[in-house]
Amino acid sequence: RLFEWLPSYYSQMHQSVELQGDWDIVQDKLPTFSHWLRLNEQDTDPVRVSLTRRWGRDVSRGKLHPIESEISRIRPYFPNIVIHNMHDGDLEESFYCDILNATNTCDHRRSSTRKRNPTRNHDYAILALAAHHRGALKVQSANISRTDVESSLMEHHKKVDANETFPVTCISPSEEKELLDRSILFEKRILGNSAWYQSEHGETEHRAKFQSYVKKSKFCNVDVERVLSDSSWQQYFNTTVFSPRRRVKALHTVPRPQGPTTMNAR
């Protein structure tokens, strides 16, 4: 589903190598989610794995779901494409058991422990970068990385607020409606003829899950203007000298797979 995929890809693309510990990147390379959506609509996202560069302008402007773009690219070479609905049961289990009919792998998957892959929150990176550009950071060494500052910000926040709540900036109500309408349209276009979509798991579930995303602030990020103008945070920045920490290995972007014939509809 588009509304689930966009925050997931936003998180994934902004933890790539080119952003790790880099103080000199332009702000648009680490935008809030709402700002990122607008960058895509305008085809101005500067990141090398932007929606436009990876899937084309029709995806970044919201005219196509990424899976539709992929299908159009590979259909000339693989005409018999099967749409794998990742919402119909366990993703890997249904793929091995129902699509590939790989009996042994299917049995192994059914008996194995499921591993979660949580979405990374970029709020501390956004805050660290904003504080740096405004000259709010006092550093012990010029070699200090953004990762060092992020870790310090996170530790401080946990001490003063166990829930780690930030004032946030989110997409607008009109943007929410547009995203939901577009997400439903794409799912209906891709899976509308399936029995699954015609059941309660289709549009009804789609709308309910979207509202759960809104409630959980999935389309929001830290409001740096409010944080940096808050007296307690100002005191923290004024009295803290940030020092280098043990280096954290940079995450690497997973290479894009070439020409799959089974597509996961999200």
Where are the domains positioned within the chain?
A: 2-265
Query: In the chain, pLDDT over 70 holds for what percent of residues?
Result: 85
CA distance 36 to 38: 5
Helix-helix angle 173-191:203-215, to 10 degrees: 150
Q: Do 131 and 137 meet the contact criterion of CB atoms below 8 Å apart?
A: yes
Output the pLDDT for position 255.
42
49-63, 122-136, 182-196, 236-250: range with lowest mean pLDDT = 236-250
Task: Examine the pLDDT at 258 and tell me if it is beyond 50.
Answer: no
Residue 167: pLDDT over 80: yes
Question: Tokens 């609509």 belong to which residue?
Answer: 41
Q: Encoding tokens for residue 128?
A: 């660290």
H helices of 42-172, in order, are 51-55, 57-60, 66-74, 91-94, 103-111, 123-133, 146-160
Looking at mean pLDDT, say which of 162-171, 218-227, 245-254 comes out highest. 218-227
Q: Using the structure block, give the residue that is written with the tokens 């929150």.
A: 121
Residue closest to 36 by CA, chosen among 51, 16, 23: 51
Q: Which of 4, 7, 61 is nearest to 220 (CA)?
A: 7
Task: Pick 92 or 74 by higher pLDDT.
Answer: 74
- For residue 19, what pLDDT is reported? 52
* 96 or 255: which leads in pLDDT: 96
In contact, 30 and 122? CB cutoff 8 Å: yes
pLDDT mean over 31-35: 93
Q: Is the pLDDT of residue 82 over 70?
A: yes
CA-wise closest residue to 20 among 133, 134, 151: 151
Name beta bridge partners: 7: none
Mean pLDDT within 92-107: 86
213 CB-contact burial (10 Å; exposed 0-12 / middle 13-18 / buried 19+): middle
Report which secondary-structure segment, H or E, holds 37: helix 33-41
How far is the first Cα of the chain from the last one, in angstroms, to the nearest whole number? 4
**If you average pLDDT over residues 97-112, what whole number do you get?**
86
φ/ψ (deg, to 5) at 78: -130, 85
